Amino acid sequence: MAAHFTVLKKDPAGARLGRLLTAHGAVETPAFMPVGTQGTVKAVLPRDLQEMGCQILLGNTYHLYLRPGAELIRELGGLHRFMNWDGPILTDSGGYQVFSLGAMRKLSEEGVRFQSHLDGSYHLLTPENVMQIQAALGSDIAMVLDECIPHDADREYVRDSTNRTIRWAERCLRTRDGADQLVFGIIQGGMYADLRERCVREMSSMPFDGFAVGGLGVGEGEELLHSIAASTVGLLPEDRPRYLMGVGRPEDILNAVRRGFDLFDCVLPTRNARNGTLFTSEGKLSIKRAEFVNDSRPLDPACGCYCCRNFSRAYLRHLYMAGEILSSVLNSLHNLYFYHRLMERCREAIRQERVDFWTQGSATLLTQLD
């Protein structure tokens, strides 16, 4: 195994229990990374993230570069000190944000030239300065610059884009700064299994510390998501962590853990929380529904989070309908607690070789393995 990553156990279904070492501590995998795009997980204190068992956060190079600026963060002691988080941080290179800019960006071999969504100013991200920005931020894991390919792109476009992502990855490695920062390559290839396979072959020949699978969860549908993820993960090196980017429905995470993925991130738990959609051991629940107006029960009787220990469904509905900030705070705490408990159950299921665990719904799994 690589010095920074150890597979501690692998169950008969293919799921892996691992330990990832970083400059700011170890991460027990499989693990979920809450998204702290702009140096904060929306509506949640770092203290509360630590108390719920969060091991690692995700920040975003594109957003932090634009505001407040990587050099300012470096001058103030790096991203960990800036946001008061002493655990590991992974920074995404901004490839997905570039993808979402549409007509506001232009790709070339040099990099991606784009117009800021904040003030309309023009900027250029290259493989070299993306690595320099992430070095200034001081994250534990840096991602290479890539293009997140639209799911309906034709084969010629996907081929050319994937080849460029591979060339960009080589340039990122030549620019990496500091032995303490791990660097992950990103596997692209769109919805074409052979292009994915070629990308894995090229990327795995380079000395990356881990590999991410990108370009999924972008509208391709559940069947394609699962089939491409499954066919790709089996090609990746066994001795490196495997990260499925941006895929966050609990059932999709369970399927990916079973296939051998180790790391996950998504805005889903916090975004859904702010919109009043909550994950429980009885399934998803929309707190805005009128049926909860006088419901004195906790949100989820099987949950031990601060929200469920202290507040009723009626109160949570009242907060949401009144537009109170506390609604986002409590809902986000609960949803993230749900996700971290789900990952704890995944790790325990692998320890116990409970292959049957992966065939059940995510909601019911939270009442098992206690």
**How many other β-carbons are positioned within 10 Å of the β-carbon of residue 78?**
17
Q: What pLDDT digit, counting tens, does each position of 297-326 carry?
A: 999 999 999 999 999 999 999 999 999 999
Contact between 57 and 34 under an 8 Å Cβ cutoff? The reply is yes
The residues that are catalytic are 92, 265
pLDDT at 14 over 80: yes
Would you kindly state where each structural domain of the chain is located, as residue ranges? 5-265, 267-370
Average pLDDT over all residues of the chain: 94
Residue range 38-88, pLDDT digits in tens: 999 999 999 999 999 999 999 999 999 999 999 999 999 999 999 999 999
> Looking at the predicted structure, is the pLDDT value of residue 229 above 80?
yes
pLDDT at site 178:
67
What are the C-alpha distances in Å from 31 to residues 53, 136, 248, 329, 347?
10, 25, 12, 22, 9
Q: Which tokens in the block code for residue 91? A: 């920074």
CA-to-CA separations, 71 to 78, 89, 94, 157, in angstroms, rounded:
9, 18, 17, 35
pLDDT at 36: 97
Q: Is pLDDT of 97 > 80? A: no
Residues 95-100 have a mean pLDDT of 74
Query: For 115-163, how does the pLDDT look when each residue is reduced to its tens digit (9 = 90+)?
Result: 998 999 999 999 999 999 999 999 999 999 999 999 999 999 999 999 9
Residue 369: pLDDT band with limits 50, 70, 90: low
Query: What CATH architecture does domain 5-265 belong to?
Result: Alpha-Beta Barrel (3.20)
With a threshold of 0.75, does the pTM exceed it? yes
Mean pLDDT value across residues 339-366: 87
CB 190 within 8 A of CB 159: no
If one compares 363 and 249, the residue with the highest pLDDT of the two is: 249
pLDDT of residue 271: 98
